[in-house]
Structure 1
Amino acid sequence: MSLKDDFDVDAVARTGLEKLGYKQEMTRKLNVSQQVTLAIMAVPYGLAAPIATSLVAGGPVVIIWGWILVSVLTQTLALSLAEICSKYPTSAGAYYWCYRLASPRTRLLASWINGWLTVVGVWTIALSVTFVESFEVILICLSAKAAAGRRPISFALGNFDPSYSGWTPGWSFFIGLLPPAYTFSAIGMIANMAEEVHNPSEILPKAMIWSIPIGALSGVVFLLPILFTLPDVAILLQVSSGQPIGVMFTLIMGSRAGGFGLWFIIFGIGMFCAISISCAASRATWAFARDKAIPFHQSFSKISPHLDDVPVNALLLSTVIQILLGLIYLGSSAAFNAFVGVAVMCLGASYAMPVAILLLNGRKDMHDAPFNLGRFGTVINAVAVLWIMFAIVLFSMPAGHPSHKNYASVVFVGFGVISALWYLINGRFYYTGPPITEESAGSSDFNRSDSPSFEGELKSRRSCMS
């Protein structure tokens, strides 16, 4: 694409953003490949870091077939979000979508709840990555060395032993879906980069949709050599840290040096992912501050013109929160693991909300979306919402034995209480939801019969924008 084409596309995107109620503050410089990378580059890390859960839950069958199952289910969510994002491409993301799709009586509260789910989710998912290229190297090393012995295809693709989990076989399999669900949990964060992307109505949906099959294939390539050379599971589960990936690589390679080399690759992938995730988290924080929904929003909504249009204050806020939460790891690994679980629960809930609202509206708001799911939209949306609801239940359950503790649901409710209190103290006085231009307010999605205060609200918002 030439510079002139870039300029023309960016001009259209700027006009479209203004129609959504925001002015262009960042430079559009990202393309689809960079957005897909944000979502998939951490597949090996996402699968490797919590692999103990899948080993406990049943081993190879859970690891490989659970990955494929979650990939298919997540594809329905990616398609659903891509459709909504194509019509509303803004860094505000899911909480903006909730506001535009919900009825006038419920949209303010819905967007507030969703916004806090989003920022808590992006802060904690970035934390989980930061604390704890490559496929070809791992594939060759594991397949060539196999110091712990080689496994037949019947074991690699068909062995299922849930005896370590303490759950019934069926439920044990589902508990083992936590690592793949964690790996794909940040798929919606692509939207938070919307205001830095050329032609976002086209590029963002493509990035969301294609990141799943590409990521799924990458995961299969990463997992198969592990499954065909997997050491004794009982030995791996005896690791005191609860993270057997290092021991697993050491046993397969037959030396500490070889094991460390492969572990270091996973660590490097995690670091690159941390950069991407932290970048997206800062944009989500900045967007929510721009709509006056977090404390000291005047400061955190500023863009630095001297640092390539980066929301530095929002980035610092996100980083400081991660550090403070990360300190909990020093005192309690169970508390730290709860933040990992709550990240997926918060992000999943924030993604499911606009899709569920869309379903309740009979999908009438998507008739003019640039990317449209057509007659399959209802089924795809319904499967996506049901999958997220089920995933939230999974992340509330003990990952190992039923007697173990899982504080994810407690942390999830705790953050919810904090956001509710902040709404009562401050939000209800200052938060009026995302802005509405007169042109967008006249569209069909705002001409709802249950909006007796629509005119007054519109005048108030126009006054605030001016």
Structure 2
Amino acid sequence: MDDPRTDAGDLAEYGYQQELKRTLSAWAVFAIGFATISPVVGIYAVVQLGFVFAGPAWIGAVVVAFLGQLLVATVYAELSSQFPITGGVYQWVRRLGGPRLGWLVGWIYLASAVASLTTVAYLGATWLHMLVSDEALSPVTHVLLGVVFVAAALGINLLGVNPVKHFLNAGIVAEGVASIAVSLILLLFARHNGFGILFDTLGAESASGGSVAAGFLTCLAVAGWAFLGFDATTQVAEETEQPRRSVPRALLRAYLFVAFTVLLTAFAVTLALPHPEEAVSGKIVDPVFAAVTEGLGAWSEKPFIVVVLIAFFACAISIQTYIGRAVYAFARDRQLPFSRRLATVGPRQIPWVSLVVTAVLAGLGLVLGLNGNAAATLIAFGSGGFYFIFLAVAVVALLARLNGRWNPSAGEFRLGRTGLLINVLAVAWLLFEAVNIAWPRTELAPAGGSWVQVWAVVLVFSALFVVGLAYVVIAKPHRQLPLGPVTGKATSEATRAASEEATEEVEAS
């Protein structure tokens, strides 16, 4: 018989049956988190923009983003220990902040997650093209290669959990080679610049109207992309052994290991780049590739591309994995149109319909790439949505702590009084960074872009919020929710009574 505080018995307290296959170890959950955050995808995506806006001093923005997101990851670790349910932020917010807010946060989260898959596929397509051709990459070819990425990630996921684990392990090895090993070689044997250059902009502020502060803030808005994805570990809680213990630990370990790798790579590339001023001017389009091939020699070009590609594919696979689970969790609660179909679990015990639908949506998002270089726009979309979600979750968690609705000491990962201070600091950081990312900047829009493209992040997510709010008002999905405890503590008669009373109030409204 299941222990009522673990695994299937624990899940039953929330009103759910064990449908997904619970075969993920702590290491497998770590691999999902590591592959999703991905130091290769994170740093290689932002390094060019970092140089353009802040020069070699861009590393300062990376350090600030790391420290700020560490606060957020810690809050998420406490929540994941208390609520070991697939659905992550959607489940947490609906239990601590109410079903309507939970739906809206979950809706924006799904849109942001799909955008992140689109972004990774778009960025990875560049490396795929570099492997097979030296010619210029046209917008149409770029989009088609991005579709290849999305299709490959879907195909691996449809094979089941075990193949996913193997590919993610390969991704970790590739990340280790492409980031840690190469970075150490560059630092030890191919360093061209002294440490003083890390505080020099080399005139990059000219891209921001001559303001060093404006350039740094733009760089910080982009650098936030490097520290997304640690919440992927929470989406596989129902497939994890001892999730209250394993998930928060895997989340923090993945985040810290990735952060170390990102910072190491950032320092190595900046110090090894022979002509950093050319990266600032845009003459060097890919500072990482330039630093590696010049530091190791021309022979390293193709092997390095292959290793980076493996890391990109692993990241896409991992993102596809957790998006599918997020949609499944939403649909299982009958919160989406066609929920019964989206919640289908196939013979391999995976939510295959949700996986297919999210892959199609991510593929459609690649159409943005037809408008020339869309990297900055896609990164802004992906970062913007996630930082708004981070902020909503942190605020809800803080209010729930203060009004007694949430008692973090009931989880296995506990920070005590320190948790409250960390939560307050996380809210302050996220308020700043969310506004910073959403701030309209012509330098992050495509060249010659209209005001619509400059305000794209604000406009798109405002539209998503309005659509979501309209759906909540008209369809009233909160009335379809199953009964379950609110706080995540062991079920008692009082808890059940409170939950039933809360549901009756919702239905009456």
Q: TM-score range by the shorter chain?
A: 0.7 to 0.9
Three-state SS of the structure 1 residue aligned to 2:480 is: coil
Greater fraction helix: 2
Q: Does 1:165 align with 2:160?
A: no
Q: Does 1:176 align with 2:176?
A: no
Aligned match of 1:138: 182
Which residue identity does 1:13 align to in structure 2?
D
Which residue identity does 1:397 align to in structure 2?
W
Which residue identity does 1:55 align to in structure 2?
F
Q: Does 1:313 align with 2:343?
A: no
Q: 2:62 aligns with which of 54, 64, 67?
A: 67
Instruction: Measure the CA separation in 1 of the matches of 2:115 and 2:442.
Output: 21
Q: 1:382 aligns with which of 424, 429, 437?
A: 424
Q: CA RMSD in A?
A: 3.1
Q: Does 1:414 align with 2:489?
A: no
Shift in alpha-carbon separation, 1:98–1:20, aligned structure 2, 3 A: same
Give the C-alpha shift of residue 254 in structure 1: 5.2
**Structure 2: tracts of 5 or more residues without a match:** 124-173, 448-453
Aligned match of 1:34: 28
Q: Does 1:46 align with 2:42?
A: yes
Instruction: Measure the CA separation in 2 of the matches of 1:443 and 1:67.
Output: 47
Q: 1:91 aligns with which of 86, 89, 100?
A: 86
Contact 2:222 2:437 in 1 (8 A): no
Q: Which shows bigger deviation, 171-180 or 399-408?
A: 399-408
Q: Does 1:189 align with 2:238?
A: no
Aligned match of 2:164: none
Listed as ranges, the matches of 1:258-277 within 5 Å are: 258-277=300-319
Contact 1:355 1:385 in 2 (8 A): yes
Which residue identity does 2:361 align to in structure 1?
I
Q: Deviations over 1:369-404 (max 9, x none)?
A: 322221112211111122222222222235674897
Q: Does 1:322 align with 2:367?
A: no
Aligned match of 2:144: none
Q: Which shows bigger deviation, 91-100 or 325-334?
A: 325-334
Q: Deviations over 1:412-464 (max 9, x none)?
A: 22222332333344x3167534542697485669849xx9x63635999xxxx
Give the C-alpha shift of residue 273 in structure 1: 0.9
Instruction: Measure the CA separation in 2 of the matches of 1:344 and 1:402.
Output: 13
Q: Deviations over 1:295-341 (max 9, x none)?
A: 21111101002x2x11110000110001111122123544x643432
Scaled by the length of structure 2, what TM-score is found? Answer: 0.77
Q: Which shows bigger deviation, 92-101 or 395-404?
A: 395-404
Q: How many residue pairs get matched?
A: 438
Aligned match of 2:115: 124
Instruction: Measure the CA separation in 2 of the matches of 1:400 and 1:320.
Output: 30
Contact 2:244 2:411 in 1 (8 A): no
Shift in alpha-carbon separation, 1:94–1:446, aligned structure 2, 3 A: farther
Aligned match of 1:4: none
Give the C-alpha shift of residue 174 in structure 1: 2.6
**Structure 1: tracts of 5 or more residues without a match:** 1-6, 461-466
Contact 1:49 1:245 in 2 (8 A): no
Q: Deviations over 1:128-175 (max 9, x none)?
A: 1122121344225535774xx7111222x3323442432522232232
Contact 2:27 2:250 in 1 (8 A): yes
Contact 1:47 1:179 in 2 (8 A): no
Contact 2:230 2:251 in 1 (8 A): yes
Aligned match of 1:464: none
Give the C-alpha shift of residue 202 in structure 1: 0.6
Contact 1:166 1:402 in 2 (8 A): no
Shift in alpha-carbon separation, 1:9–1:274, aligned structure 2, 3 A: farther
Instruction: Measure the CA separation in 2 of the matches of 1:137 and 1:357.
Output: 41
Aligned match of 1:113: 104
Instruction: Measure the CA separation in 2 of the matches of 1:198 and 1:185.
Output: 24
Listed as ranges, the matches of 1:239-388 within 5 Å are: 239=282, 244-253=287-296, 255=298, 257-305=299-347, 307=348, 309-334=349-374, 337-363=376-402, 364=404, 365-366=406-407, 367-388=409-430
Q: Deviations over 1:228-280 (max 9, x none)?
A: 2123234235558965544454444553x534433432222111111111111
Q: Deviations over 1:325-361 (max 9, x none)?
A: 1122123544x64343222222222233233123223
Give the C-alpha shift of residue 198 in structure 1: 0.3
Q: 1:454 aligns with which of 502, 506, 509?
A: 502
Q: 2:77 aligns with which of 82, 100, 105?
A: 82
Three-state SS of the structure 2 residue aligned to 1:57 is: helix
Q: Which shows bigger deviation, 400-409 or 206-215?
A: 400-409
Q: Does 1:226 align with 2:220?
A: no
Instruction: Measure the CA separation in 1 of the matches of 2:225 and 2:114.
Output: 14
Give the C-alpha shift of residue 60 in structure 1: 2.6
Instruction: Measure the CA separation in 1 of the matches of 2:503 and 2:265.
Output: 56
Q: Which shows bigger deviation, 91-100 or 402-411?
A: 402-411
Three-state SS of the structure 1 residue aligned to 2:103 is: helix
Which residue identity does 1:119 align to in structure 2?
L
Shift in alpha-carbon separation, 1:383–1:331, aligned structure 2, 3 A: same
Q: Deviations over 1:64-113 (max 9, x none)?
A: x33232222211111111111111110121111112112xxxx1210111
Contact 1:53 1:178 in 2 (8 A): no
Instruction: Measure the CA separation in 2 of the matches of 1:131 and 1:241.
Output: 20
